Structure 1
Amino acid sequence: MHSELLSPAEMAEADRLAIAAGPLDGYGLMRRAGEAVAALVLARYPGATRVHVLCGPGNNGGDGYIVARLLQESGADVALWVSGEPRAGSDAALAAADCPLERRPLPAFAAEPGSLVVDALYGAGLSKPLSGDAAKAVQIVTELGLPVVAIDLPSGVSGESGAILGSAFRAATTVTFARKKPGHLLLPGREQCGEIVLADIGIGDDIIARIAPRTFENGPALWLETFPVPAVDAHKYRRGHTSVFSGGPSATGAARLSALAAARSGAGAVTVLSPANAMQVNAAHLTSIMLHKAETVADLGAFLTDRRPSSFVLGPGFGVGEKARDFALALLGAGQGQDAGIEGLVLDADGITSFRDEPETLFQAARRSGAPALVMTPHEGEFGRLFPDIANDKALSKLAKARAAAARANAVIVYKGADTVIAAPDGRAAINSNGAPWLATAGSGDVLAGIIAGLLAQGMPAFEAACAGVWIHAEAGSRFGPGLIAEDLPFAMVPVLHELVKGAMAVR
């Protein structure tokens, strides 16, 4: 699986580099694209009474002219509708010249039940709202409930952001080329794409490597080589020690969910750090998870010296305020000038909100030389509390917002949602695509924080640990399905982890 995602500008550069390298010229690549779409239409819709091909004036329309010609040559009943003429001398103009079908003006577009639509109007490069005749065509197709095969991206969906520009086709299948685009995975565009088919048109991996994309689809191909597999002679502390801060006596469950998830993800030892007044409550519910009192920063310092934990979770059920800030800043300062051995801090929920009035204090601590890695896991509201200007910038996609926040905070940002984006300070970012609505349940985020911390404790780099944690969490939830509650997730991870360990061992 190719995990790289290409922005529309990067895709244009990939086309240019491929054409320069040969042997295919631009029209050759366009023919390959049209052939891939035509083959899919013939294979999947043999019963379509008629195929309406809608062509725009650019390269997407050029692909459409080739599709229309090939379908007609195969015996299909094809109607060709065009919006604007291709630029003279362009590859699209060559495709139009080679297409013998009658060109009907898009303003006159009409279709009938039982027909199929091939959307070749605009694709991934659209930058302004779909309007006029194109928007009318979307309305007609939608009202008739016709299946749509979109070329590259459904027209009206931004390839950069996944935003719907005005209106957009809802495709049954989207055929794209070389690599997926961010708009295929970011909401709401993802819901418009249907099944996404990636077609090889002759743009090789060497071309993609020259572009060096920094955006990826999250999945094992991205991080499996760094996934922790215990050595034969491993003991519990060699497998990493995760510590999770607990809230008060009436708010201990979230920390225990995180702790159990950290243990399931492979951390050899897990400790719940509890205030004195919650020790008995926590003790009554913990078995393999250890328990330690941590009322003050001094208590935390003594614990660091004595037990040398590898990673921490701070936030789930903890409470908002000065105590959370003090603990977080103490941990981010613990790696300076000494071999503290802390791999990272996962800041979630109340831990994030505690810095809403002084975020720069947190960011400065994370920027200091020698500070442990900081991973933050905000949902929409928490993101807005810490990064209000970024959150309110309507010009930025979710991907761009996560990247900007990661750079500002010097942290890995897990911007949660149905299209979770994971971004690193160095500009790398991944979009998750295996989420499920069953994960929208109380405590689910606490489990995610624990998984990430458990992977950090085992030495997985912060960006890769966050990506793996998000994917494992989503995969477990998807497989479990209806009826899922947060307590189910740590156990639902087990078959997923079995497969990942087996895969990690195979690639080493």
Structure 2
Amino acid sequence: MKVVTGVQMRQIDAKTIEDIGIPAMVLMERAGVVTAAHIVEKFPPRDVCVLCGPGNNGGDGIVAARELFNNGFNVRVFIASHMEGLNDNCRFQYNIAEKLGIEVVFKSNIKEADLRDSLIVDALFGTGLNKPVKDSIAKTIETVNSRDRAVVSVDIPSGISSDTGEVLGKAVRANATVTFGLPKRGHLLYPGKDHTGELFVENIGFPYQFLNSDTIRCDLMEKAFMSMLIPARPPYAYKGNFGHVLVVGGSSGRTGAALLAARASMRSGSGLVTVGVPASLMDSCQARVTEEMTLALQDKGKGNFSKKSINDILDFAEKRCDVIALGPGMGVDSDTVEIVKEVIANSPVPVVLDADGINSLALMKYQERISALNTSASPVIITPHTVEMARILSDVKSNMTTKCVAIERDRIETASSFAAESTAYVVLKGVPTVTADPEGNTFINPTGSPSMATAGAGDVLTGMIASMIGQGLPPLYATVLGVYMHGLTGEIAATKTGLHSTVASDLINNIGPAISFLIND
């Protein structure tokens, strides 16, 4: 499903009205009717306060109020404006409500005594809000949020940026939101997602071709499509059909990261997985593997990679593997910087760069790292979390906090911009994880759980993405599928081991159930 900005949705709205000829008032009627229908379905007739702004969102709210009134609800409408401030559509709907005998009060500072124990319908601001909510409306929103009451927002919770999910001053915290046409980015990005509650998307008459236009470059990853991407397992298959993953990682005290990535690859369906670790760690690594194979790589004698291992890595890639997962636990120094640079430049197979691979990339000067990614011999997928993303976006350590805040403020634009500049596939890990490709397409992942906030979860994701590439999926499909499945493993693990007790190996153990959920349900 496409995901839009406020501007994109308003363009769809305008084209529907102007090019197709569906009147604005028809769209408003449908918006109000479907909003009321959701309320009628969930709640028996009761007291309702409908809070409206002076614009089209307020008009939607008045239509909803009218429908609820006709269904036996005791409705009061508060309009946060004076009569002269209403736009034409909102005024039209107000006149109808008045003729029906619905109580309508022009008042912007709503008190607790006004709301009492009513169900709240929030229609104060729509997707066009672009400045902080202040003064009396801010106080009204505080009053709405001050008690545990049922709140349904019309289109988007008032005070939430439709583009970034930011709280613009104050924002309504809804239990449910009924939006129209397509979900907005602010519904899916935090903190907006927290304020949205359960999201219902209703098409109120927008043409299919407008909602599925190629000019909308952001998508919500959905189960039906993810299910189609699972590599087939024909009855005549053997291990050579499902790819060979080389995991290059591990260092003194950190071999577990590489092993987690390798085991995740195996569980995701890889036919063969080899773990390449510094030679001085080979005995301890060998003792911990069963299905995986091992490759001793040249080191500096203390469990740290030597740049002399570059030729061995590239030779293995040339002759034996289909994808390299580079970085989990490998450490960071001048040698790892050289390894990352040379493997990216010369690998004949795709490279999934994670963890210390990303941190080694970040030690290069900014233009050097961009040049390295732009001139890579094969596709590169990078999987940074917010702090790692901040490192690769800047040469100045002193502004890391500022960078992290900016990234979280607009995760979609951050991932998209860097993917376009670097020509790498970017997986910006977080809540939600956003994937971007070099062509400007972005994908919001809906799966995941707080249980995944545990050491090694990122290494598991690296192994899963590498496995899907090794099994023959194109880098983009392998990446979005790996991300989606990774989130599912967290959700499933949380039901078994709990939010607090899940560890990375639990994610690996639930890769099989995640795949089964996708292909069998």
- The CA deviation at 1:431 is 1.4
TM-score (norm 1): 0.91
The match for 1:429 is 442
Could you tell me which amino acid in structure 1 is paired with residue 469 of structure 2? L
Matched, 1:214 2:232: no
Q: Assess if the C-alpha contact under 8 Å between 1:264 and 1:490 holds in 2.
A: yes
Matched, 1:487 2:485: no
Matched, 1:497 2:510: no
Q: How does 1:294-305 map to 2 (within 5 A)?
A: 294-295=297-298, 296-305=309-318
- The CA deviation at 1:327 is 2.5
Using the alignment, how far apart are the partners of 2:222 and 2:278 within structure 1?
Answer: 38
Q: Assess if the C-alpha contact under 8 Å between 1:112 and 1:144 holds in 2.
A: no
SS in 1 for 2:57: helix
Q: Assess if the C-alpha contact under 8 Å between 1:113 and 1:146 holds in 2.
A: no
Q: Assess if the C-alpha contact under 8 Å between 1:240 and 1:310 holds in 2.
A: yes
User: 1:335-380: per-residue Cα shift (whole Å, max 9, x none)?
Assistant: 5xxxx3x1x2111111111122314333212212x62111111111
SS in 1 for 2:152: strand
Could you tell me which amino acid in structure 2 is paired with residue 349 of structure 1? A
Could you tell me which amino acid in structure 2 is paired with residue 454 of structure 1? S
Q: Assess if the C-alpha contact under 8 Å between 1:86 and 1:92 holds in 2.
A: no
User: 1:112-136: per-residue Cα shift (whole Å, max 9, x none)?
Assistant: 4421110001122210011122111
Using the alignment, how far apart are the partners of 2:225 and 2:127 within structure 1?
Answer: 24
The match for 1:398 is 411
Percent identity of paired positions between Structure 1 and Structure 2: 34
Could you tell me which amino acid in structure 2 is paired with residue 461 of structure 1? P
- The CA deviation at 1:502 is 4.8
The match for 1:316 is 328
Are the structure 2 counterparts of residues 36 and 493 from structure 1 closer, same or farther at C-alpha, using a change threshold of 3 Å? same
User: 1:374-410: per-residue Cα shift (whole Å, max 9, x none)?
Assistant: 1111111111111138936849612111111212221
SS in 1 for 2:54: coil
- The CA deviation at 1:107 is 2.9
User: Of the candidates 159, 172, 175, which is equivalent to residue 178 of structure 2?
Assistant: 175
Could you tell me which amino acid in structure 2 is paired with residue 61 of structure 1? G
The Cα RMSD (Å) is: 2.1
Q: Assess if the C-alpha contact under 8 Å between 2:55 and 2:86 holds in 1.
A: no
Q: How does 1:10-159 map to 2 (within 5 A)?
A: 10-20=8-18, 22=20, 24-46=22-44, 48=46, 50-84=47-81, 85=83, 90-100=88-98, 101-110=102-111, 111-159=114-162
Matched, 1:420 2:418: no
Using the alignment, how far apart are the partners of 2:147 and 2:517 within structure 1?
Answer: 44
Could you tell me which amino acid in structure 1 is paired with residue 391 of structure 2? R
Using the alignment, how far apart are the partners of 2:109 and 2:276 within structure 1?
Answer: 69
Using the alignment, how far apart are the partners of 1:108 and 1:490 within structure 2?
Answer: 53
Q: Assess if the C-alpha contact under 8 Å between 1:106 and 1:133 holds in 2.
A: no
Q: Assess if the C-alpha contact under 8 Å between 2:249 and 2:328 holds in 1.
A: yes
Q: Assess if the C-alpha contact under 8 Å between 1:153 and 1:176 holds in 2.
A: yes
- The CA deviation at 1:269 is 0.8
Q: Assess if the C-alpha contact under 8 Å between 1:176 and 1:197 holds in 2.
A: yes
Using the alignment, how far apart are the partners of 1:177 and 1:54 within structure 2?
Answer: 19
Could you tell me which amino acid in structure 2 is paired with residue 361 of structure 1? E
- The CA deviation at 1:272 is 0.2
Using the alignment, how far apart are the partners of 2:87 and 2:158 within structure 1?
Answer: 24
Could you tell me which amino acid in structure 2 is paired with residue 63 of structure 1? D
SS in 2 for 1:70: helix
User: 1:138-182: per-residue Cα shift (whole Å, max 9, x none)?
Assistant: 111122332210001110100100000001110011111111111
TM-score (norm 2): 0.89
Q: Assess if the C-alpha contact under 8 Å between 2:3 and 2:184 holds in 1.
A: yes
- The CA deviation at 1:437 is 0.4
Using the alignment, how far apart are the partners of 2:137 and 2:224 within structure 1?
Answer: 38
Using the alignment, how far apart are the partners of 1:106 and 1:87 within structure 2?
Answer: 12
- The CA deviation at 1:38 is 1.0
- The CA deviation at 1:449 is 0.8
User: 1:435-460: per-residue Cα shift (whole Å, max 9, x none)?
Assistant: 21000011111101110111111222
SS in 2 for 1:32: helix
The match for 1:362 is 369
- The CA deviation at 1:108 is 4.6
Q: Assess if the C-alpha contact under 8 Å between 1:177 and 1:199 holds in 2.
A: yes
Using the alignment, how far apart are the partners of 2:20 and 2:94 within structure 1?
Answer: 23
Q: How does 1:191-270 map to 2 (within 5 A)?
A: 191-210=194-213, 212-270=215-273
The match for 1:374 is 380
Using the alignment, how far apart are the partners of 1:17 and 1:266 within structure 2?
Answer: 46
Q: Assess if the C-alpha contact under 8 Å between 1:248 and 1:277 holds in 2.
A: no
Q: Assess if the C-alpha contact under 8 Å between 2:181 and 2:206 holds in 1.
A: yes
Could you tell me which amino acid in structure 1 is paired with residue 373 of structure 2? A
Using the alignment, how far apart are the partners of 1:59 and 1:371 within structure 2?
Answer: 52
- The CA deviation at 1:87 is 6.8
Q: Assess if the C-alpha contact under 8 Å between 2:54 and 2:86 holds in 1.
A: no
- The CA deviation at 1:30 is 0.8
The answer to which of 428-437 and 18-27 deviates more is 18-27
Are the structure 2 counterparts of residues 301 and 347 from structure 1 closer, same or farther at C-alpha, using a change threshold of 3 Å? closer
Could you tell me which amino acid in structure 1 is paired with residue 61 of structure 2? G
Using the alignment, how far apart are the partners of 1:272 and 1:392 within structure 2?
Answer: 32
SS in 2 for 1:354: helix
- The CA deviation at 1:99 is 2.0
SS in 2 for 1:118: strand
The match for 2:337 is 325
Q: Assess if the C-alpha contact under 8 Å between 2:56 and 2:87 holds in 1.
A: no
Using the alignment, how far apart are the partners of 1:27 and 1:118 within structure 2?
Answer: 20
Matched, 1:471 2:484: yes
Structure 1 residues without counterparts, runs of 5 or longer: 504-508
The match for 1:506 is none
Are the structure 2 counterparts of residues 115 and 88 from structure 1 closer, same or farther at C-alpha, using a change threshold of 3 Å? closer
Matched, 1:459 2:465: no
SS in 1 for 2:162: coil
Using the alignment, how far apart are the partners of 1:255 and 1:167 within structure 2?
Answer: 45
The match for 2:355 is 349
Using the alignment, how far apart are the partners of 1:371 and 1:223 within structure 2?
Answer: 28
The answer to which of 163-172 and 66-75 deviates more is 66-75
- The CA deviation at 1:332 is 2.1
SS in 1 for 2:245: strand
Using the alignment, how far apart are the partners of 1:188 and 1:247 within structure 2?
Answer: 36
User: 1:251-292: per-residue Cα shift (whole Å, max 9, x none)?
Assistant: 211100000111111221110011110111111011110111
The match for 2:302 is none
Are the structure 2 counterparts of residues 250 and 55 from structure 1 closer, same or farther at C-alpha, using a change threshold of 3 Å? same
Q: Assess if the C-alpha contact under 8 Å between 1:240 and 1:269 holds in 2.
A: yes
Using the alignment, how far apart are the partners of 2:260 and 2:164 within structure 1?
Answer: 34
- The CA deviation at 1:54 is 0.8
The match for 1:387 is 393
Could you tell me which amino acid in structure 2 is paired with residue 445 of structure 1? G
